[in-house]
Amino acid sequence: MKATQILVLVVLAAVIVMAAHLLQEQEKTKLKVVYAGSLVVPFAEIEKRFESQHPGVDLQMEGHGSIQAIRHVTDLHDHVDVVVVADETLIPDMMYPDYADWYMRFATNRMTIAYTEESRYAGVINESNWYRILQRPGVTVGLSNPMLDACGYRTMMVAQLAEVYYDNQAIFDDLIACNFDPGVSVERVGSVSVVFVPEILEPRTEKIVIRGGSVQLLALLDLGEIDYAFMYKSMAEQHGLRYLELPAEIDLGSPEHEDSYEEVVIRLGFRRFTSVGTDRVGKPIFYAMTIPKNAPHPKLVAEFVEFMVSEEGLRVLRDTGQPTVLPAADNPEKMPDRLKRRVLTIRIFVPLIPCFLSTPALRRADEMFDVDDISHPPGMPWWL
């Protein structure tokens, strides 16, 4: 055989191998996952695990603010397979009934105050004195902008709830309101406090540093340019920061305090998205997901959702600092069949979690399923 013939054969073989490889790549099904930005760390691991177990699937992960995540479906009409948000109420508010008719909660969070060893008074700050420490001269505090970030308006809720918890009517004003020009005002309507955020939020003192999101605050903490930052517990843990756990009555992480959380409403200065209003009502933080009605791959993405709420999926979340809850669904009868099984399993635990029974989602689940088969270990906390 001539050398040229051998060369041609080698080239042909190489072309065939490359073509086969390319074909295999092209055959992967792309599932588009649009998720809340605060899940970026756990979702990187979730993506790795799911893809390794499903070699034919390529997860296309996109992190956004929760409202923006939903808008990819409702306003931008992108083909999204699953939407995951950091505020479960957004799904019924923005997606029902045209774009979705069920959702499943699976994770939670708590508001904390993150800091470093270099932060002023780091050695003495605690659950009972934090608001006095933050007010001390020279101490700087980072906030996310409530107009742009859910963590921002939740920070204002924490400061407002703190006034009741510590029986000190000056906390919100001293810590937040008086540091802005124009100021942030509060009106009492019955037992509800309505906080009015101006359309432009500009600090007038050096006490407060405001940025668009937690990513920027992390960098400032790292550099020592701020001493403390209000932040989700998951983010503080994921970035190795010290953090102060706040009382359950004010940290927005405890369903048993839902009634008191609801007594704070943040009214934002402008409507950043026409598809959602300006009021944000205090609620326990629950992460939730749904498969949009127009998802391109509803069957396959149900496998992904099932993986997310499986023992392995929830463990990945917890191992990466994201607190989980026993998954619970709103309108479970409308979920894909394979997910109903997950909710049923979850549903079994409900009678041991009285605090959940007060929520509409679980009341609906109550009506759906038989609750006799209880196998949840007594005393196991609802957040696992």
Partner 1 sequence: MKLAGLVICIIAIAATACLHPSGVEDGMIDCNLTLIGDCEKVLSLGEIRAMPSCEGRGGFFTTIGIVNGPFKCRGVPLEDLCDLVGGINATDTVWISAHDGYLMVFTRDQVRGGFIAYDPATMREISHQELEMILMYEQDGSLLSKDTGGPLRVAIVGDCELLTEGHYWVQWVDRIEINK
Q: Does 164 bind partner 1 (CB under 8 A)?
A: no
The tokens for 262 are 């609801």
- Contact of 151 with 238, CB cutoff 8 Å: no
Shortest gap between Cβ of 200 and partner 1 (angstroms)? 5
Q: How many Å apart are CA 228 and CA 221, to the nearest integer?
A: 7
Is the Cβ–Cβ distance between 290 and 100 less than 8 Å?
A: yes
75 binds partner 1 (CB under 8 A): yes
Does 63 contact partner 1 by CB under 8 A? yes
| Among the residue ranges 213-221, 257-265, 291-299, 353-361, the one whose residues contact partner 1 (CB under 8 A) | 213-221
Q: Is 273 in the site for partner 1 (CB under 8 A)?
A: yes
According to the binding rule CB under 8 A, does residue 68 interact with partner 1? yes
Backbone angles phi, psi at 159, to 5 degrees: -65, -35
Q: Distances from the Cα of 322 to the Cαs of 33, 84, 86, 268, 308, in angstroms? A: 18, 14, 12, 28, 13
Task: Give yes or no for residue 148 binding partner 1 (CB under 8 A).
Answer: yes
Closest contact distance (angstroms) between CB of 186 and partner 1 is 21
183 binds partner 1 (CB under 8 A): no
Minimum distance between the CB of residue 126 and partner 1, rounded to whole angstroms? Answer: 31
CB of 261 to partner 1, least distance (A): 24
- Would you state the structure tokens that stand for residue 54, as one six-digit string? 């499903």
Strand ordering across the sheet containing 279-281? 185-189, 192-196, 264-267, 279-281
Report yes or no: 190 and 198 within 8 Å, Cβ to Cβ.
Answer: no
- Contact status: 213 vs partner 1 (CB under 8 A): yes
Tokens standing for residue 343? 């909710």
Query: Given the DSSP bridges, would you call strands 228-232 and 141-144 parallel, antiparallel or unpaired?
Result: parallel
What is the spatial distance between Cα 290 and Cα 194, in angstroms, rounded to a whole number?
30
How far CA 125 is from CA of 25, 144, 240, 243, in Å, comes to: 54, 21, 18, 10
- Judged by CB under 8 A, the number of residues near partner 1 is 29
Looking only at residues 310 through 339 of this chain, which bind partner 1 when binding is defined by CB under 8 A?
Answer: none
Residue among 211 and 280 whose Cβ is closer to partner 1: 211
Does 202 bind partner 1 (CB under 8 A)? Our answer is yes
**Shortest distance in whole angstroms from residue 273 CB to partner 1:** 6
Site for partner 1 in 3-62 (CB under 8 A): 37, 40
Kindly tell me which of 17 and 200 has the beta carbon lying closer to partner 1: 200
Residues 311 and 116: beta-carbon distance below 8 Å: no
Q: Which residue has the tokens 């943040």?
A: 266
Helix (H, G, I), strand (E, B) or coil at 289: strand
Residue 15, CA distances (Å) to 2, 153, 216, 257 in order: 20, 57, 48, 65
Contact status: 65 vs partner 1 (CB under 8 A):
yes
- What character string, x for contact with partner 1 (CB under 8 A) and - otherwise, covers 76-115? x---------------------------------------
Q: How far is the CB of 76 from partner 1 (least distance, A)?
A: 6
Interface pick for partner 1 out of 219, 281, 357, 380 (rule CB under 8 A): 219
Q: Which of 136, 271, 299, 363 binds partner 1 (CB under 8 A)?
A: 271
Name the residue among 207, 210, 230, 204 with its Cα closest to residue 137. Answer: 207
Residue 269 CB, nearest approach to partner 1 (Å): 7
Beta carbon of residue 233, minimum distance to partner 1 (angstroms, whole number) = 18
User: Kind of pairing, strands 264-267 and 192-196?
Assistant: parallel
Q: Does 200 bind partner 1 (CB under 8 A)?
A: yes
- Please state the closest distance from residue 41 (CB atom) to partner 1, in A: 10
Out of 33, 46, 71, 83, the residue judged to bind partner 1 by CB under 8 A: 71
DSSP run (H or E) holding 325 = strand 324-330
Residue with Cβ nearer partner 1 (37 or 282):
37
Residues in contact with partner 1 by CB under 8 A are 37, 40, 63-65, 68, 71, 75-76, 148-149, 199-200, 202, 211-213, 215-216, 219-220, 223, 269-275
